[in-house]
Structure formats: C-alpha cells, structure tokens
Structure 1
Amino acid sequence: MTDALPPRSLARRPAAPSTVTRPVASPIQPSVVWRAEDADALDAQYEGRTEGFAYARESHPNAVALARQIDALEGTPEGSGGGLCFGSGMGAVSAVLLGLLKSGDRVIASSQLYGRSLRLMTQDLPRFGIEIAFVDPTDGAAWRKAAETPAAMVFAEVVSNPTLRVADMDAARDAATACGGLLVVDNTFTTPRGWRPFDHGADIVIHSVTKMLAGHSDATLGWAAARTPEIRAALAAAQGSIGATASPFDCWLAERGLATFALRYDRAEANAAALADHLATLPGVEAAIYPGRADHPDHNRAGDLLQGRNGTMVAFRLKGGRAQANAFIRAAADLPFAPSLGDVQTLLSHPPSSSHRALTPEGRAALGITEGFIRVSVGVEEIETLKAEFSEAVAAAAKV
C-alpha cells in the first residue's frame, strides 16, 4: 500500500486553463481582486508603467470593455485615458461634482436637469460651500450674464428632462470659456446618436448607461469621460473614494445591449415622432411635446443643433390634473408605469410623483410640469399598437 498524495485544498483556485482560442462573447469576470507577480510589479501598475487590475472598486475588465465601446460612440479624445464606468448615472454625476469642485467654487447650471441632479445641486453642494447659479438653458443672454462672474463649472443637458427643452449649447460653451470653467454635458437623453458633446467643446461628458445605451432595464450603470488625463485622474480618484463601483455583471449586460443601440434608437426615434403627432390630434391632450414638432418652442434650435435627430422621448399634458393622470396610467395597462427610460418597451412616467417630486409645486409649475404631465420613453413596438393604446388611455382620462 502506497501513501496517497495529499488532496489539493478546494480553497486554492486552479489556474485558468491554457487555450489558443478566444471567446466570441465577452466573459464576465466578477473577481474582486487580482494577484500581482510581486510588489515591484504592483508598483509598476499603479505608476502607469504597465496595465493591469488590482481591486474591482478601482476598475475591472468588464468596466473597461464597456467604457471603451462608449468612448468610441462619444468620440472621447485620444490621450485622455478613456471613460470610466460607475455604479449608476448619479454615481457619475456625483464623482464629477464632488471630485472636481471645492468649497468656494461656483457652478453655472441649467435650471432644467434630471431631478436628482437638481437635488444634489440645491441641497447637498451648498452644504459644502459650493454656490450654484441656475439659468434658463434656452436663454443665451442668461448664459452670458451668468458667465460675467467666474465659475469652476458649467453644467447642462442638451435636451432637458422631462420637459424636452433644447438648450442653447453654443451659449453654454461660450459661457464656460468666458467664466473659465469646465463644460460638463449630461448626454443621457440625446445620446451620441443625436449629438456628441466632445465635438462641440465639452470638457466632460456623462451618461446614465442604465437608460438608452444599455436599453433593457436590467443594468444600473453610469459613465463619464474627460477631455484631459488630468481631469480623468481626478474622476477616477473620486470614484474610488465614493465607492461608485460598476458591477461586472451589469457591465456585461450593458455591453450586450449596446450592440443593438443604433438599431433600437432609430426605431424608437421614428416611433416617437409619429406618436407625438398622434397625441396632438387627441381631444384629451392639452399639448404634445417633441422637439421635432413645429409647435415646440425650441424647434428651430433643435433643427440646427440636432440635425433631425430629435430623440426617443415624448411628453404631453393631459387636460386636467392628478385624477386624469391616474386614469390614463390605469387605462394604459400594457404600458409599464415606471420611472426610467430607454427600454425596448415604451415606459410611462409622471414627473410630479417621481423624478421631480422633490421640487415644490411652484418649482414644477415654473417648468411647465403640471399634475397632468406625462413623460413617455418610446420603445420599439409597432407604432399602430402604440397609437391605439394611447388613444384608449387618453379617452379614459377624459371621462374622469
């Protein structure tokens, strides 16, 4: 009888199998940590002399793969170091604001931003001694006036959420130059299919990847990229400190969804234009809001800026208030009432009770957000199906 070899401990993971082939689909790599050859090798990595990973809160392969794809779509400048993936869109926004601003700084910001961005600027940044000057994003004179005082940052969205106003981006860029601040653009609504901020002077571009880029309501992610490696390094440092880490699995899902982004966007955009025109004909609708319509207040600017890429979002105001909104939502039973956007299926949102609930009624009224205001993230369904569903739901609301 011979002595048996001691069993290998199951706690010791085996080396990855050697192979001369590569997977066609990107593998998910959920490892939290990576092993280095020795301390010198780790130094070389952290000092930028070699490439590698150490701890997933800082970066991981799935985040890098996704970021590179979005970099290509957005035209992230070469030599900048590329974009970073975050655990959410607000993780990206927070890293930009908290990672680059300090007490005593001033920010010029659009008054029409995503609700949580507005909350961060109105309730959190002032606690750290950061001043926010809000301007009407459609008013070039307001941008110029605000820029007469120095500022560290100018923050804008191209198309506002949820009112779909189109910002005067030339004026925003000129304001950033005049006040000496960084131009930051949240491009979530417009997407690089509609407008690429880096091509028009932006210093930083932000996305909630959760929305149109990932496109299936199953991944929560953000992305931000900077024009220079110095700004990018500050964002990376903020990400590590805040802990706004992107999940490898969510990055993998988003990379998979991104493969069909152009197809989904084009179909949803065509549906949005047709649905907006249809809503405008319904007796129970007070106003149909879409930048491509001639009655939109910023229609001419949208034509110059977006060149016909008017987006996948539609908004409308029902005649009436909360009772009519509730009746519409209940009648549209096959259209999910869910506070998100960018899914392959059409989603409904009621900003007064979701994204903009933190604003006062007076603040919402100033933006044109009534209790009968409905935001629609248009999907890729058959347009005749959508027209029929909206007709029935509007009719149900009108009976209340």
Structure 2
Amino acid sequence: MSDTPSLIRRTPWPQGASRPVVTPLQPSVVYASPDPDTLDAQYLGTNPGFTYAREGHPNAEVLAAKIDMLEGAEGGIVTGSGMAAVTAALMGVLSAGDHILGGDQLYGRSLRLMSQDLNRFGIATSLADSTDARAFAAAIRPETKMILLEVVSNPTLRVADFEGIAALARERGILLAVDNTFTTPRGFRPFDHGADIVIHSVTKILAGHSDATLGYVAAKDPALRKAIYDFAVTTGMTASPFDCWLAERGIYTFELRYDRAEANAAALADHLATLPGVRKVLYPTRADHPDHNRAVSLLGARGGHMVSFEIEGGRAQANALTRGAPELAFAPTLGDIGTTVSHPASSSHRNVPLEARAAVGITEGFFRVSVGVEDIELLKSEFTKAVAASQAVRA
C-alpha cells in the first residue's frame, strides 16, 4: 500500500489568527457531520451548522441577515429568484379553498400567477384597485386568507392605500403580504406598517448590478416562516452561493446607490415633463402624480428610483425611442447601477390582455425607466434625443 496521502481526500480549510475581510464564497453542496447524533441536532435546530445546500448554505444565510437588518425582520429566506419568493410565500401558506386578493397593478408575472396558476391548485384569486381600500373591502370573501400588495405598483407607479388596506387586513384577520422590490426598505418598511410577509426580488436594486438572480421572503410569525421555508426547500427554490456572494457585495453600496438613483429619478421626471411628445410622466413625489398626497404621507420625500412616462404615438414611435438612444440599455429589468428602459407592453405585461393593460394605462407608448447613478446631465441629454427620435416618426 502506498504511503502517499490520497488526493481524493479533502484538505482542511486553513486556519489562522487572522480572518478574511470579505465573506468567503462557499459553493459546497453538502456538509459532513461527525456522527448521527450531531446531524440529528442540526436538523432539530439545537446545533448550528449546514447539511445540504438546498436546505441552506453560508452565503445565503449571510445575505438574508443583511436584508433582515434593512427590513427589521428575522429569519428571512433567500430563494433562487424574486418570483420564487412570491411563489413560496403564497404556496407555502395558502391551501385549496383559500382565497387571495391582489392589487390590480402587480408585476406581470405575479398577475399571471394570480390569474392562471393558483386556480389550478384550488386557490381562488381576485384583483382590486390597490389605491382604494374600499375596493379591497368590497372584494374580500369569507375564505380570503391573504392580500398581496405592492406599495408602489410596477410599472404604473400608483401608490397603494396601504394604511387603509393594512387596517382592513388586521380587522378581518387576513394576512398581508407585500412585494417591496420597487420601494425597497430605504423607502418603506412594510413590517413597521402592519405587513405579515415581505418579499423582494433581490435581483433588482438590492444586488444592483444585473449579475445575480435571487429572491427574499420574510414573515413575522415563526410558523408562517417555517411553512414558507419548507415549501421553498421541498420545491428546490435554492439560491446559488455565487449569486448570494455577488448580491452581498452589492448590498454594501445599496444605500449610496439608491440615494443617487432617487435624486436622478426626480430630476429626470421633471425633465421628461418638459419634452415635446411626452404625454405624461409618473413619479410619486411630483405634484401631478394621481396619488401625490398619499405618496407624501406614506413615503415622505422618498420618490424612489423608478420613473414611468408615455409618449405620443404607438409601436412605431416606441421602436424609434429605443433606437434613438442606444446608450440607454433597453432591457426588461430594473435596479441596475446603470439606467435601463423597459416597454411593459412587449415585456412584463405582454401576457396581460390588451383591455386590462389599457385599463391601467399601459399603452404602446408607455415606458418604465429604472434610473441609475450616471451623471444627470448625461441622462437628460440621452432622453431628449430618444423622445425627439420617437416624435420624428410619422404616425
């Protein structure tokens, strides 16, 4: 027998008096325990440690703890995408025979989940105008178990009657789940205002660099938290350690990026409103926003980093706008460090019926802008060119 140690055996991680300043990336799928008793204790929660990456891993735990700090939460769960977080929150809690009531201007895939998927599992769904608590009160049923809201809607930037709906949920004993992706904990912390569940697409501005696909969900009630966790683990909504590592790196600059992007967004909204061919501009803190008073009451001066606007014309003018400023990334995403422009009619809401899109103001001339941290004068110049290009096309 050879005396040479086997290369197959894992080399112990080097230990020392110092420690890494940057969180190490830990891609291990499995973790070894010394004996069955220790493994039992880990599964029972009486001994710390990890077992199998689908059930949790160090990079996800570190990232979840950071977002917990921002949201004032405990025990948040990181998932493989934002929609995985939405799905885990709903499917982990709801059962056949339950009813969920959602805002009528949710993100497009959330709307699809509500309108086409949950019903297949015996979960009834309906939508109501999130800017009117009375509409929600009228839509509640005896079997309503959960309300799903966005504080600021995607992509129309309408501001929910949050206080009214939260009071209604408390009064009726209904769970309130909030997708806080747009607003972020920098702008609004739902748990401080009565939410039971908070959801994020970490992919967006929390991670901030369009290189990590992740979600996050937290619940106040430990029993709800366990139900959501169990569903996420069982269905394999595992977050990549590398993506968690990237998102943690991004989150250290989140507040700096958010504040700069928010200042840019407010200035860009005012600039867009002056351009010929722009029919309307939506930004929560502008005086002409349809929910301005509620936005100021709920969000204060935090208008956020998103701007939506509508140009004169249809698809031809929309095509010309995106081609007229190639430096602006035309991409169906938000929250990147650079500004991105999306066209909901051809992306996030393409599967929403035309009549439903029209009812909330999503036309072929409607655009959503995720404002980045570039020099504001550069952004003004690029959008001036883009809008001018759109209006140079004959209808």
Q: Shorter-normalised TM-score: what interval? A: over 0.9
Match of 2:355 in 1: 362
State the 4+ residue runs in structure 1 displaced beyond 6 angstroms. Answer: none
Give the deviation of 1:18 after TM superposition.
2.2
Alignment of 1:1-400 (within 5 A): 5-76=2-73, 80=74, 82-147=75-140, 149-400=142-393
CA distance, structure 2, for counterparts of residue 300 and residue 242 of structure 1: 42
Q: Is the 8 A contact 1:148 1:178 kept in 2?
A: no
**TM-score for both structures, normalised by structure 1:** 0.97
Instruction: Indicate conservation of the 8 Å contact 2:85/2:216, yes or no.
Output: yes
Aligned residues: 393
Asked if structure 2 preserves the Cα contact closer than 8 Å seen for 1:147 and 1:176, the reply is: no
Displacement of 1:282 in angstroms is: 0.5
Q: Work out whether residues 288 and 317 of structure 1, in 8 Å CA contact, stay in contact via their aligned partners in 2.
A: yes
Q: Is contact 1:275–1:386 with CA below 8 Å preserved after alignment?
A: yes
**1:390, CA displacement in angstroms?**
0.3
Which ranges in structure 1 are unaligned for 5 or more consecutive residues? none
CA distance in 1, matches of 2:338, 2:38: 48
Secondary structure of 1:152's partner? strand
Whole-angstrom distance in 2 between the partners of 1:87 and 1:6: 45
Distance 2:331 2:211 in 1: 13
Output the CA distance in 1 between the equivalents of 2:266 and 2:127: 30
Secondary structure of the residue that 1:64 maps to in structure 2?
A: helix
Q: Is the 2:98–2:143 contact (alpha carbons within 8 Å) kept by the matching residues of 1?
A: no
Deviations 1:156-193 (A, max 9, x none): 00000000000000122122223322110000000000
How far apart in 1 are the matches of 2:3 and 2:360?
Answer: 73
Displacement, 1:148?
5.7
| Alpha-carbon separation, structure 2, partners of 1:143 and 1:115 | 20
Give the Å deviation of 1:5: 4.7
Tell me the secondary structure at the aligned position of residue 269 of structure 1. Answer: helix
Distance 2:49 2:62 in 1: 13
Distance, in Å, in 2 between the alignment partners of 1:335 and 1:294 is: 27
Distance 1:107 1:175 in 2: 14
> Could you tell me whether the CA contact under 8 Å between 1:149 and 1:179 is conserved in 2?
no
Deviations 1:120-150 (CA, angstroms, capped at 9, x unpaired): 1100001111111211000121122223634
1:88-117: per-residue Cα shift (whole Å, max 9, x none)? 000101111111111000111101101001
Contact conserved, 1:144 with 1:171, CA < 8 A, in 2? no
Per-residue Cα deviation, 1:370-399 (whole angstroms, up to 9, x for no partner): 001010000000000000000011001001
Per-residue deviation, 1:7:
2.1
Contact residue 50 and residue 56 of structure 2 kept, 8 A: yes
Residue 375 of structure 1 aligns to a residue in which SS? strand
Distance 2:119 2:233 in 1: 23
Deviations 1:212-243 (A, max 9, x none): 10000000000011102111111110111111
Ranges in structure 2 where 5+ consecutive residues have no aligned partner: none
CA distance in 2 between counterparts of 1:166 and 1:150 reads 26
Q: CA RMSD in A?
A: 1.0
Structure 1: distance between partners of 2:117 and 2:7: 48
Alpha carbons 1:336, 1:348 under 8 Å: kept: yes
